[in-house]
Amino acid sequence: MATELKRTELIFREDIDHSALIRKIMKMGKDSFITELIESGLKGRGGAGFPTGLKWKIVKEDPNPVKYIICNADEGEPGTFKDKEILEKASEKVIWGMALAAYITGAKEGYIYIRAEYKYLSTKLKIAIDRMESHIRTLGINFKLGLIFGAGAYICGEETALIQSMEGRRGEPTNKPPYPVNKGYLDRPTVVNNVETFVNAMIIADIGAEEYRKLGTKASQGSKLFSISGDCSKEGVFELEMGMTVQQFVDEFGDGDTKAVQVGGASGFCVPRKEFKNTIIGFEGVPTGGSMKVFNSSRSMYNILENYLIFFEEESCGQCTPCRVGTQQLLHGIRAVKRKEKPKIYLDELLRLAYTMKYASKCGLGRSVGNAFRSIIENFREEIVY
């Protein structure tokens, strides 16, 4: 197995004429491009991994005359900061990616839902938006793009909660179905994609599905930005090909004493050292929205888990029982075990509860709280108990 990491340089490439690219797609035809997008295998880069081509296709085929394109820039997963980097360095590409989605689906309006901490980018974004709008008008496409700022709730990164928040409601996930592609913002068909997904759509428009598919693996095509932090030799945002093993990653970024890697942030999985070699980073193994946190042996896994659970206890929207009360029980539970107020077998009860949260929660937040919990408890049980 090759130990070298394949780096890619697609996302921040600067030599793209966006307007020309749109013209190319216009010539190619909407349906052909959707086919191209589907063939590219591009999956949503926010973490959930829904096939992007399919999402656009559903919205395109909806007869509703009003549709919306929304860019989810509410980057809130602990340890993720790659969308910020994209918006700083390649905002044009995001905006043009949204315009492309608008052209394909027939939407006339779009919004970037951006976390309030990124407000400093608004002038820059507005200038880029103005430029895109006037350019695209010359191509005969009307697309208006606006900015909406979040109010700091992690849950608003969940697409239905995001839409609720945009509509001025309490940011809470709604029942699915209906899905946003059928009934999204203001009950209209809506594409909600991550910042990086729009950029990838532009990359595919540029290099084509065949080229794109050469990157990555069968289940995880293309490249991806990783936000790397923790006990590492180098930290920051790196564009890497999908499908590497955690071992490969650690060899490159670890500090030589890596005990575990948290892939996918607080809602992701904790991979222990013994699993590094046979865990692939990607949809066939551990998926990630980009967050990679590296922990060395000086770290207490108990503290890490407790920290995550404090985060979830606060950031659950609080509407559904498994998530609202479950997160509290997990947190209080490990504390009680640590303090010897509960026997260590209580952890098994909590593991069963974590499964219930996974099965029965209303949205992805509650369903994924158990990921970190289970992977840490199962692999580092002694650190929790003693």
| Interface positions with other proteins (CB under 8 A) | 153, 155, 170, 175, 177, 312-322, 324-329, 332-333, 336, 342, 349, 352-353, 355-356, 358-362, 367
**For other proteins, the closer CB: 198 or 269:** 269
Strands (E), the chain: 68-73, 109-114, 144-149, 190-194, 223-230, 236-241, 258-263, 269-272, 291-296
Alpha-carbon gap, residue 326 to 339, rounded angstroms: 20
**For other proteins, the closer CB: 155 or 292:** 155
Q: At its nearest, how many Å lie between other proteins and the CB of residue 355?
A: 8
Q: At its nearest, how many Å lie between other proteins and the CB of residue 310?
A: 10
For 197-254, the DSSP string reads: HHHHHHHHHHHHHHHHHTSB-SSSBSEEEEEEEESBSS-EEEEEETT-BHHHHHHHHB
Beta bridge partners of 149: 114
**For other proteins, the closer CB: 188 or 358:** 358
Q: At its nearest, how many Å lie between other proteins and the CB of residue 321?
A: 5
What residue has token string 């013994």? Answer: 274
What residue has token string 């609080």? Answer: 318
Look up residue 244 and give its amino acid.
M
**For other proteins, the closer CB: 41 or 322:** 322
Q: At its nearest, how many Å lie between other proteins and the CB of residue 134?
A: 39
**For other proteins, the closer CB: 257 or 348:** 348
Alpha-carbon gap, residue 44 to 158, rounded angstroms: 13
Q: At its nearest, how many Å lie between other proteins and the CB of residue 322?
A: 6
